[in-house]
Amino acid sequence: MGLFNDLFGTPKPRVTEKEYKKAKSELYSEGFNQRQRAKVDEIFAPDFNMPSTDSHPRGLEKNEIEARIKWMRENKSKHNLSDKEIDEIESSPLKRL
């Protein structure tokens, strides 16, 4: 084990940018149109543009995904995605962790 892992523990599992793109492809196959996928990007993709550090590698941790899903459920008027669509979004990236 490396020094970082000895001091701080193993980094938390996360959805990588590659896995995120795969999840978006799954949404397309589930019938999500371009506008719906763009809304998903507005909510999730900014994390992939943040600089990566040793303590916080690029990607989405499970708790970050859960927080965004919760926000989506509480703010449907801001993105116009249905409960069923939010369920599909939730199951797609979370099963990668």
Residues 92/84, Cβ–Cβ less than 8 Å: no
For residue 34, is pLDDT > 80?
Answer: yes
Average pLDDT, the chain: 82
Tokens representing 31 are: 């019938």
DSSP secondary structure letters along 58-77: SSEEHHHHHHHHHHHHH-GG
pLDDT class of 96 with cuts at 50, 70, 90: low
For residue 10, is pLDDT > 60?
Answer: no
- Identify the pLDDT of residue 97: 56
pLDDT tens digits, residue range 35-60?
999 999 999 888 777 777 776 777 88
- Identify the pLDDT of residue 11: 60
